[in-house]
A and B are shown apart, each in its own frame.
Chain A
Amino acid sequence: MSRHVVAAVGDIAPGDRKLVIVRGRPIAIFNLGGEYFGLLNRCPHQGGPMCEGKITGLVQASEPGKYLYSKAGEVIRCPWHNWEFDIRTGQSYCEPDRFKTRAYPVEVADGAAVVEGPYVAETIKVNVAERYLVVDL
């Protein structure tokens, strides 16, 4: 396992996402109001590229006629077949018991620490005054 610097904190605005490739693996990094989460960019249903999906919320009904909208901005819908996943955990809301998309924890690290290592940052130019997003892989 190694630690990979994938982006500067300012690269992804709140509510936005960015695709990064870590050791050949495509990972979608999401910014939920300053918290960062990574999901494998491959839907477990048929492989759709999750990063290009719509970010939305979750509509549920406790009983017919009663609706609950929750997790606003925390659900990603696959751009192909609309399967919904929790950005925080990768959990599927279509078939929660059977499907999950691989989640990758994303840490925020100071530039000074990143410069000291042991980090891999092939494509990111590191500045000690900045803060960076780091994925363990």
Chain B
Amino acid sequence: MNVQARQTPTAAASSKLAIADGDIHPTRKLASEFDPWLDKRWRDDVATFGARQRQPWQNAPAYPKAQPNASRRDAYPPEGGRQGSSLPFMQQQHLDPANVALGILNPLGTGQGLQNIDMSIALCHATNEWQQEYWTKPDRRLRASVVVPYEDPIASAKEIRRYADNADFVQVFMLSRTSEPLGSRKYWPIYEAAAEVGMPVGVHAFGYGGNPMTPGGYPSYYTEEMVGHSQAQQSGLASLVVEGVFARFPSLKMIMIEAGFAWAPSLTWRLDNAWRRLKQETPHLTRLPSEYIRDQVWWTTQPMEEPEPRTHLRDAINWIGWDRLIFATDYPHWDYDDPATSLPLKISEAEREAFFIGNARNVYRGV
């Protein structure tokens, strides 16, 4: 990369509205950053056998990414390392100029959903301690997620309760492509613990559950994986509703992260329609699916749908509710949404406040 190519980022103008960012991806500069919280046994295991995902491609993602590390080419820290591995550069390039007052950390690729569940438990815990040491302690605008080894829900619940009184942790973090549908009773201990400690459960696109990327099988192209995230999330949300997770845990809040949101109205229309006809199948549901979703589900915005005309976006948001969307950039990933340009709609001051920060303050614990 030509070193003459970068413009110096500018600090935020004080007039710029403070925002929340519901999806920031920190990463390690060196794998050894986890070492203080990993037993030697696990350091050796990771070095010898690798952290193996439930997918056949072991040394790379199933689909090639659009940019290196699936991240912005202009986000390499000047001191070296992967995009997202430097707090000072994240501050300089993103947090300061965008005036991010609350940034939610969602670490990916750390150890969730691994074949070796004991390794997954160890790596997830190291991830949580690392977030605090490397990110939330030095920058108080940032808040951590309890990254859970979700294929062992009992261990996950224990991990959630471990951070019950730690104010740096504001949500529980899962991925959408679990080995069983998200509402499966296998995962209920996670939802029970999250509701108990008052953290929402964020479900982020990706993960490798051992199933094909789409309900129709393995697609050929990355484009299909990208749009497949909304399909995976729709299956997950339908499962959460119909299995009765929201009915059983009425104080549980769920956040759908990085999977779009404009599909929410049509999914809900179909769910309501089917449920009215098949009520006897799921007597544990006492309200319409749309009512559970309306009360207990939030969405992060990135990557924002870009329909023509743009007014369709307003129609979708009006249906979901201006109180349900949490602005997110996905920094430093390549499909980043810029807060200055990604919502090209005329909105009221109240809508702007809710969309860019107010809703986040309502949903995350203690922020």
A residues neighboring B (CB under 8 Å):
16-19, 21, 26, 28, 41, 46-49, 51-54, 79-82
Contact = CB atoms under 8 A, between A and B. Distances in A.
Nearest to B344: A46
Given A51-B7, A52-B74, A81-B336, 18 more contacts: A16-B2, A17-B5, A26-B7, A46-B338, A46-B342, A47-B341, A48-B72, A49-B5, A49-B6, A51-B5, A51-B6, A53-B73, A79-B67, A80-B74, A80-B334, A80-B335, A81-B334, A82-B334
Given A53-B73, A54-B73, A18 B342 contact: no
A54 B1 CA distance: 9
A118 B1 CA distance: 34
Contact of A17 (B2, B74, B334, B337): B2
8 contacts: A19-B5, A47-B340, A47-B341, A51-B6, A52-B6, A52-B73, A52-B74, A80-B336
A49 B74 contact: yes
Contact of B7 (A49, A53, A82): A49
A8 B340 CA distance: 35
Contacts of A48: 72, 74
Nearest to B338: A46
B303 to A, nearest CB: 9
A81 B74 contact: no
B266 interface: no
Contacts of B337: 46
Contacts, number: 54
B11 interface: no
Nearest to B9: A49
Given A54-B73, A82-B66, A82-B67, A47 B338 contact: yes
Interface hub of B1, B5, B334, B335 (most chain A Cβ within 10 A): B5
Contacts of A18: 2, 4-5
Contacts of B72: 48, 79-80
Q: How large is the interface on B (under 10, 10 to 19, 20 to 34, 35 or more residues)?
A: 10 to 19
A81 B302 CA distance: 13
A46 B4 CA distance: 22
A54 to B, nearest CB: 7
The 4 closest A-B pairs by CB, nearest first: A79-B73, A52-B74, A51-B5, A46-B341
Interface of B: 1-2, 4-7, 66-67, 72-74, 334-338, 340-342
Contacts of A21: 7
B335 A81 contact: yes
Contacts of B2: 16-18, 51
Interface hub of B4, B335, B337 (most chain A Cβ within 10 A): B4
Nearest to A45: B341
A125 to B, nearest CB: 17
B17 to A, nearest CB: 17
A82 B333 CA distance: 12
Given A82-B67, A82-B334, A19 B4 contact: yes
Contacts of B334: 79-82
A18 B1 CA distance: 11
A32 to B, nearest CB: 15
A46 B74 CA distance: 14
A17 B4 CA distance: 8
A16 B2 CA distance: 7
A108 to B, nearest CB: 19
Contacts of A28: 5
Nearest to A11: B4
A93 B5 CA distance: 23
A19 B2 CA distance: 10
Contacts of A49: 5-7, 74
B32 to A, nearest CB: 29
A17 B1 CA distance: 10
B6 A19 contact: yes
B233 to A, nearest CB: 21
Given A41-B7, A79-B67, A79-B74, A52 B1 contact: yes
B307 to A, nearest CB: 14
Nearest to A78: B73
A28 B337 CA distance: 22
A16 B1 CA distance: 9
Interface hub of B2, B66, B335, B340 (most chain A Cβ within 10 A): B2
